[in-house]
Amino acid sequence: MRFFALTFFIFFSNFFHAQYSVKSIPENLLTGADAVLRKHTMDVVVLAQDKMEIRYHRVVTVLNEDGDDKVDAYAYYEKNDKISTLEAIVYNANGNEIKKFKKKDFLDQSAISGGTLYSDSRVMFLNYTPIQYPYTIEFIQEYTTPNTAFTPTWPFLDDYNVSTELSEFDFRADERIQFRYQEQNFDGYQISSSSTSNELHYKAKNIEAIKSEPMSPSFRDFAPHVKVGLNKFHLEGVDGAASNWNELGQWIYDQLIIGRDKLDPNTIIKVQNLVKGVEDDYEKTRLIYEYVQANTRYINVKLGIGGWMPMSAEEVDRVKYGDCKGLTNYTKALLSAVGVNSYYTVVYGDEQIRSLDNDFASMQGNHVFLNVPINGEDIWLECTSQTVPMNHLGTFTDNRYVLKITPEGGQLVKTRESLDEGNYQKTTGEYTVNSDQSIKGKAVIVSSGTQYDQKYWLKDQPKKEQEDFYKRYFGYINNLTLEEVSFQNNKNEVEFVENVSIKAGNYLSSANDQLILILNVFNRNLRVPSKVRNRQKDVVISRGYLDEDEYLIHLPEGFEPEELMKPKRIDNKFGTYEVALEKVDSNTLRYKRKLLVKSGNYPKEDYEKYRDFRKKVVRGDNTKILLNKKNKT
């Protein structure tokens, strides 16, 4: 009997070790993977409107350094959440345990980065440095939360270059609790499911890694996942009910916003005097927005329901700071005091365009800004910024569906799209070519649209940061010296103007008695997307742009071009490229260039065609001419 028991123990010990051995991973799951999710499960039980229990189990094998950030052994929690279990086990390549972590071994810190005044949001995370690859980490978390407004979204694929061996999601709710769910991007995947009136169960096996490709759609737009939302929920002491966006917006207005717009009477008098004699609502809005920018600063506040409810306008006015919610609500209150209506608006702010889900109302979004309708036009105010111009939508908030909160409920509206030609940069300059092969020149660069976003912050940077920026911008010029730089930030026109003077030694090369000159000094494009074999995803150009350039080139005394560059023009579905060179007089040339890149979604088969277009742009921007010594007469 003792022998049998020992044999039984050894068998099962070896079995559990073996199941996390790298050798047991199916070969197809290793292809293109930096990490493999061996087991990824979640059990969610909603016991009441204000009580949800979650058990989470994640086992990930990390194959190389690029997979380290896929471990995800962390637990976010709020003040009223109760974490009952938190542990992790590290295994080597053979599946043998090499280290174990208990709850007390996890680091515990604020979940909000710098610029936060106070916050209840915290995170416990595993701080582990691997000693060799591959390795496996098993992570287990069990917790209870009253905040049922945030039922988990379950992904069956974690990220690019991560495969899934086993993924299971179970959701159960008390029979009195109604919920909604939505399956997205299931086509092409073997995901089994079953459901009853109060339960959901999903299971997926052996999903191969998706390779990251340049200019792909956002991962969430094609990866399989399921969303769940409660029709009646709870958030930090406040009950809510919503099954659509109008109802959710109504709840936000009634429970989080209404009554928080009161202002000190002296402040009301101050801002009314500020706009005295001004009848135009647009001008009133500009004056109030600039007043907020000049008199407040951004500080994150996330404490209890305050993580979702704005600070009162009166409090922001007193302390002169607030987070996006507080500053937006404050600006809204000031506008109301001068007779201008505006609307608190929830957005998912991100460089990648991300809309709130039209068909599934839930607590989405990570940012708040202000909508001001004036004469049929939506004006947008980024109240957290002391520098962003009025009605400028940058890449953080443009071209996406957002939730406008009104007294009558929520309205999904779309923010303004950045037009390709509106993302504009005009460079006008001149440079002198010297016989010692150096150049000296100056340029005026005017940027608008999303190209304004890339530049306007330069004005307030230290000189060293400005110099570093231009060394990167003109990175193709060796021996660059930045002589003078000045800026004008025209907020009314949303234009940023750079005046830049440069010089560079040995810019030209020589062969025999000839000088070789690359014509495009101020805006040379050298970027070509990397080659992709067997491309799988469509090509996405989220935002197009237009560059126009015109330079005068002063030739060195005694030299002339052997011949002028022939004009080039490329015109296709991806955009337009034009470049030309003309003679102004015996010592002066005029260089003209135009590059329009069109936004759009293109089939995967077009990727190589787009690369070919960009290659031709690079060749055009690197065009050289020969300068010969003039014959003496």
Reply yes or no on domain 20-235 having CATH 2.60.40.3140.
yes
User: Is residue 74 very low, low, confident or very high in pLDDT (cuts 50, 70, 90)?
Assistant: confident
Can you give the pLDDT at residue 120?
A: 65
| 371-406 tens-digit pLDDT | 999 999 999 999 999 999 999 999 999 999 999 999
Q: Is 221 helix (H, G, I), strand (E, B) or coil?
A: helix
Closest Cα to residue 304, out of 553, 28, 120? 120
pLDDT at 36 over 70: yes
For the chain, the straight-line distance linking the first and the last C-alpha, in angstroms and rounded, comes to 115
Check: CB of residue 213 under 8 Å from CB of residue 535.
Answer: yes
Which pair of structure tokens corresponds to residue 167?
């993924």
| Percentage of the residues of the chain whose pLDDT score is greater than 70 | 94
| 257-297 tens-digit pLDDT | 999 999 999 999 999 999 999 999 999 999 999 999 999 99
pLDDT at 15 over 90: no
| Percentage of the residues of the chain whose pLDDT score is greater than 90 | 86
pLDDT at 302 over 80: no
DSSP per residue over 17-56, as a string?
Answer: HHTT-GGGS-HHHHTT-SEEEEEEEEEEEEEETTEEEEEE
Can you give the pLDDT at residue 2?
A: 45
Query: What is the sign of the dihedral through the CA atoms of 342, 347, 353 and 355?
Result: negative
What's the one-letter identity of residue 543? R
pLDDT at 7 over 80: no
The region of weakest confidence among 53-57, 303-307, 393-397, 507-511 is: 303-307
DSSP 103: G
Q: Summarize the confidence of residues 332-350 as an average pLDDT.
A: 97
User: Is residue 237 very low, low, confident or very high in pLDDT (cuts 50, 70, 90)?
Assistant: confident
Can you give the pLDDT at residue 17?
A: 52
Mean of per-residue pLDDT scores for the chain: 92
Higher local confidence (pLDDT), 622 or 73: 622
| 143-165 tens-digit pLDDT | 999 999 989 999 999 999 999 99
**Per this entry, what is the length of the chain?**
633
pLDDT at 339 over 60: yes
Expressed in percent and rounded to 5, the helix, strand and coil fractions of the chain are 20, 40, 40
pLDDT at 16 over 60: no
DSSP per residue over 145-184, as a string?
Answer: ES-TT-PPPEESS-STTEEEEEEEEEEEE-TT--EEEEEE
| 315-331 tens-digit pLDDT | 999 999 999 999 999 99
Query: What is the sign of the dihedral through the CA atoms of 204, 206, 207 and 212?
Result: positive
Check: CB of residue 20 under 8 Å from CB of residue 59.
Answer: yes
Closest Cα to residue 257, out of 405, 83, 121, 117? 405
Q: Which residues contact 53 (CB under 8 A, 6 or more apart)?
A: 44, 45, 47, 142, 143, 144
Query: What is the C-alpha separation between 467 and 485, in angstroms, rounded?
Result: 9
Q: Where are the domains of the chain?
A: 20-235, 242-414, 420-629
Q: Which residues contact 529 (CB under 8 A, 6 or more apart)?
A: 214, 215, 607, 610, 611, 614
CATH level 2 (architecture), domain 420-629: Sandwich (2.60)
User: Is residue 307 very low, low, confident or very high in pLDDT (cuts 50, 70, 90)?
Assistant: low
| 188-221 tens-digit pLDDT | 999 999 999 999 999 999 999 999 999 999 999 9
Can you give the pLDDT at residue 115?
A: 44
Can you give the pLDDT at residue 301?
A: 63
User: Is residue 5 very low, low, confident or very high in pLDDT (cuts 50, 70, 90)?
Assistant: very low
Which pair of structure tokens corresponds to residue 317?
């006015």
Residues forming a β-bridge with 579? 568, 593
Model-level pTM? 0.89
Task: Spell out the alpha helix ranges (H) of 201-341.
Answer: 245-251, 265-274, 281-295, 313-319, 324-337
Closest Cα to residue 450, out of 327, 345, 592, 353? 353
Query: What is the C-alpha separation between 138 and 123, in angstroms, rounded?
Result: 18
How many CB atoms lie under 10 A from the CB of residue 97? 15
Cis omega (within 30 of 0) for bond into 462: no
Which pair of structure tokens corresponds to residue 222?
């094609």
Provide CATH code, domain 242-414. Answer: 3.10.620.30
